A and B are shown apart, each in its own frame.
Chain A
Amino acid sequence: MFPTITDKHREMFKSLASGWILIGASCVQLFEGENVLIGCPNSIVNTEAALSVTSLTSGLTLCVYGITDANWTPAVESMLDVFSNMLTADADLDNLTAALVETQDRLVALYELTQATRRTLDMPKLLDLLIKQSKHLMNVDGGFVVLKEKGKKTIIHQISEEPLHPAHAEAAATLYLREPNRHIFKESETLPVNLKNVMMVTLPVRDEISAAVGLFNKTGNFTTPDIKLAKAIAGHIGAQLENAMLHKEAVERTRLETEMDIARQVQTAILPQTIPQIKGVDVYATSIPAFEVGGDFFDVINRSDDSLIFALGDVTGKGMPAALLMSMTHTIIKSASRNMPFDYPHQVLDRLNHDMAADFTNVGMFTTVMLGLVDCSARKLHFSNAGQSPIYHIPAQSEPVLLEAQDIPVGILDSVQYSTQSLDLAYGDIFVAASDGFPESRNPGGEMYGYERIKNLFSVSRKLPAKQIAEALLTDVNAFCGTHPQDDDRTIVVIKFEKPDENKIMFNESLTIHAEYKALREPCERLRILLKRSGVPEETISLCELALQELLANLVDHAYEGNPNGQITVRMAGSREQIAIQTEDTGIPANVNLEEIHMPAPEELAEGGYGIAIIRTLIDEVQYKSLQGKNIWTLVKRIN
């Protein structure tokens, strides 16, 4: 009850006692019960007669030996009062100081906890820190955390010398969470056997999760400051746990998106940007990918002035592995078609299978491939089909024929001998290679598009140019499917053999300029010359020129921000149906949603923002793609 007697107390007592000694007292002593607390000049037991006063409030007794006159009693009482008050005040100060020190300790500990948890996103570690710190600060034997999330397994985390059975911990948490304002549970209540006392606080994470922290078997009782501290720690850890969960979710999401993104980029980078044209063949090819990145690829390659190679394939599987295999397959086909001297397509497939079989087998995938060679001067089409379907031959004068695949897909067996089939071509004959995304498309009723519909569509469209045949099929499948989403890629290559037209416009040129205004004249003038030579009407020429001028000026301003070292490649190609202009730059990608570009209203008196809107008004098809550091604008103007 009383503070330790210090030198300061003794000094004070001495000066108070000296007054008594001066008037004849032999000794002055202060007692607590039987014990002498302080004595002056000494604390030895004294038997002399004395004046003695006891304070009822403090329980202390003051004895002045050698003075017996009762008139001095008030003075003795007064001294006892003064001295008792001083001791009491000191005791209070000591307690306050102790409390302050303890609070400071707790604050420091809380701070250290926040520092320790700051970089931790690992849930078990955070829970460890929570329990360890709480145990240390509140002097308990053990601590546990119970995390409950609907539909998931309850998590129970404990640290203690004598751990509780998990069921007991869970029961305690359940009990507490029903009445979260009651924090302290003592023995003799509904507690399991080895729990003397338990303090529970809520661990606030997210709404979907109920969590509680339990600290048990404290020496002594839990106090209100304990509850406050536990809440503070739990609050902090709860926030960290939420962070950890959000972080984990964000990482997973990014990983998925990145994987999809890369796979998609790999795929689009490989697909041909422009379809080469040769005299005597009207070629069109396109691929409409489904939502998930698929494994379709296609290509049309110029072999010589009068021969063309075309390929179409479908890699099993989706996502990254399929995209990579597809790109490898495509690259090998492209390279073999250009560099390997071969007479018949099956030789390329033999080579492809030989090179790729191991890779495909490793991931348990394979690819269907159709490779064709159009020889205009010989009027023949040679093709080798490794499992690709549907492939159609539509003779000019008779019904479409579905050509069955002769060989198995690539990547299944190590050594396969592929075969080539040959067709004689007459003017107006059409050859179509398509992926199975077409016949297997379903409508909401579950019905498949099938092969009959395709056959009928080709029969009806045979007079149309290649591009329009392809578009007719795509439109028809879309209409058939209605609200049913597209499940698989739709890829198609259409080859129409026709009489070479002397008046056909044909040019395919490219030039590269620096990104400065004065350099824009050259491509515009070149375009004018090429179009004029091809007999395109003046109105079309001038609007194409304006469109190109606006596009290039836009790139100088925005892709390269006026840096004249930037380079822009301009490609111009013309057929009798359309003029295609493509620009390629390696500057800042355009951040545009073409659908949302509108012409500024003239009242606004805007000094900019017209470029792309003008291009969209003048040009039939405007596309923008950015992949692997290359930004590609494609403008297509149709000629009637």
Chain B
Amino acid sequence: MSLEINSTEQIIKIAAITLKGRLDAFEAPALRKACDTYIADEFNHFVFDLTDVSMLDSAGLAVLVSVLKRTRLKNGDVRLVWPREEAASRILKLTKFDQVFASIEKSEIVPRGF
């Protein structure tokens, strides 16, 4: 009896981006540009580590939403590591995006075991 082997290869590119400081109208364009590059390079999964973000405004939020929209179109998704500061998480609550973005723990960014 010979062994039949069927296998498929799946490559999922995940961009893990750690942000520190203010994610506001001034800083947002730089983040957007970086994400655009990743998306163009076929990264459809993003993890944004917002632990050390001191302030998040609607311009910063807009970049996150933009990435979410585009990745979901390609069957990808965005995960957030929740900010520590209330000044950053406040807007996510106010806009109810805390129910839209899935959150993960810092330790889950890199899969365990590797």
| Chain A residues packing against B (C-beta within 8 Å) | 517-518, 520-521, 539, 542-543, 545-546, 549-550, 553, 556, 599-603, 605-608, 610-611, 614, 617-618
Instruction: Tell me whether A610 and B61 are in contact in the complex, defined as CB-CB below 8 angstroms, given that A546-B87, A602-B96, A617-B94 are known contacts.
Output: yes
Q: Pick the contact of B24 from A520, A539, A608, A618 — CB < 8 Å?
A: A520
Complex CA–CA separation, A549 to B69 (angstroms)? 25
Chain B residues positioned under 8 Å from A606 (CB to CB): 65
| Chain A residue at minimal CB-CB distance from B72 | A605
Chain B residues positioned under 8 Å from A614 (CB to CB): 58, 91, 94-95
Complex CA–CA separation, A600 to B95 (angstroms)? 8
| Chain A residue at minimal CB-CB distance from B56 | A546
Chain B residues positioned under 8 Å from A603 (CB to CB): 100
List 12 A-B pairs, Cβ < 8 Å: A520-B26, A545-B55, A545-B87, A550-B58, A602-B100, A605-B68, A605-B100, A606-B65, A608-B58, A610-B62, A614-B58, A614-B94
Chain A residues positioned under 8 Å from B91 (CB to CB): 546, 610, 614
Interface SS, A side: helix
Complex CA–CA separation, A235 to B24 (angstroms)? 65
Chain A residues positioned under 8 Å from B24 (CB to CB): 517, 520, 549, 553
Chain B residues positioned under 8 Å from A521 (CB to CB): 22, 26
Q: A517-B24, A542-B55, A550-B57 are in contact. List 14 more A-B contacts (CB 8 A).
A: A520-B25, A521-B26, A542-B85, A546-B55, A549-B24, A549-B55, A553-B58, A600-B95, A601-B96, A602-B97, A602-B99, A602-B100, A607-B65, A614-B58
| Chain B residues packing against A (C-beta within 8 Å) | 22, 24-26, 55, 57-59, 61-62, 65-66, 68-69, 85-87, 90-91, 94-97, 99-100
Contact assessment for A553 and B95 in the assembled complex, using a CB-CB cutoff below 8 Å: no
Q: Pick the contact of B95 from A545, A556, A599 — CB < 8 Å?
A: A599
CB distance from A616 to the nearest CB of B (A): 10
Complex CA–CA separation, A331 to B85 (angstroms)? 49
Complex CA–CA separation, A550 to B94 (angstroms)? 13
Contact assessment for B90 and A546 in the assembled complex, using a CB-CB cutoff below 8 Å: yes
Contact assessment for A599 and B94 in the assembled complex, using a CB-CB cutoff below 8 Å: yes
Complex CA–CA separation, A310 to B39 (angstroms)? 63
| Chain A residue at minimal CB-CB distance from B86 | A542
Instruction: Tell me whether A553 and B59 are in contact in the complex, defined as CB-CB below 8 angstroms, given that A602-B95, A606-B65 are known contacts.
Output: yes
| Chain B residue at minimal CB-CB distance from A606 | B65
Complex CA–CA separation, A517 to B94 (angstroms)? 22
Contact assessment for B25 and A553 in the assembled complex, using a CB-CB cutoff below 8 Å: yes
Contact assessment for A539 and B57 in the assembled complex, using a CB-CB cutoff below 8 Å: no
Question: Lowest 5 CB-CB distances: which A-B pairs, in order?
Answer: A517-B26, A542-B87, A610-B58, A607-B62, A553-B25
Instruction: Tell me whether A546 and B57 are in contact in the complex, defined as CB-CB below 8 angstroms, given that A603-B100, A614-B94 are known contacts.
Output: yes
| Chain A residue at minimal CB-CB distance from B22 | A521
Chain B residues positioned under 8 Å from A608 (CB to CB): 58, 62
Chain B residues positioned under 8 Å from A545 (CB to CB): 55, 87
CB distance from A253 to the nearest CB of B (A): 41
Chain A residues positioned under 8 Å from B100 (CB to CB): 602-603, 605
Chain A residues positioned under 8 Å from B90 (CB to CB): 542-543, 546
Contact assessment for B65 and A553 in the assembled complex, using a CB-CB cutoff below 8 Å: no
Chain A residues positioned under 8 Å from B86 (CB to CB): 539, 542
Contact assessment for A556 and B25 in the assembled complex, using a CB-CB cutoff below 8 Å: yes
Chain A residues positioned under 8 Å from B57 (CB to CB): 546, 549-550, 553
Instruction: Tell me whether A611 and B97 are in contact in the complex, defined as CB-CB below 8 angstroms, given that A520-B26, A545-B87 are known contacts.
Output: no
Complex CA–CA separation, A549 to B55 (angstroms)? 10
Q: Pick the contact of A607 from B22, B26, B66, B99 — CB < 8 Å?
A: B66
Complex CA–CA separation, A517 to B57 (angstroms)? 12
Complex CA–CA separation, A520 to B60 (angstroms)? 14
Chain B residues positioned under 8 Å from A610 (CB to CB): 58, 61-62, 91, 95
Complex CA–CA separation, A312 to B65 (angstroms)? 52
Complex CA–CA separation, A601 to B100 (angstroms)? 10
| Chain B residue at minimal CB-CB distance from A618 | B94
CB distance from A53 to the nearest CB of B (A): 100
Chain A residues positioned under 8 Å from B94 (CB to CB): 599, 614, 617-618
Contact assessment for B25 and A517 in the assembled complex, using a CB-CB cutoff below 8 Å: yes
CB distance from A637 to the nearest CB of B (A): 14
Complex CA–CA separation, A515 to B62 (angstroms)? 20
Q: Pick the contact of B26 from A518, A546, A605, A618 — CB < 8 Å?
A: A518
Chain B residues positioned under 8 Å from A602 (CB to CB): 95-97, 99-100
| Chain A residue at minimal CB-CB distance from B69 | A605
Chain A residues positioned under 8 Å from B22 (CB to CB): 521
Complex CA–CA separation, A48 to B68 (angstroms)? 119
Complex CA–CA separation, A521 to B100 (angstroms)? 29
Chain A residues positioned under 8 Å from B55 (CB to CB): 542, 545-546, 549
Complex CA–CA separation, A603 to B24 (angstroms)? 22
Complex CA–CA separation, A614 to B57 (angstroms)? 10
| Chain B residue at minimal CB-CB distance from A617 | B94
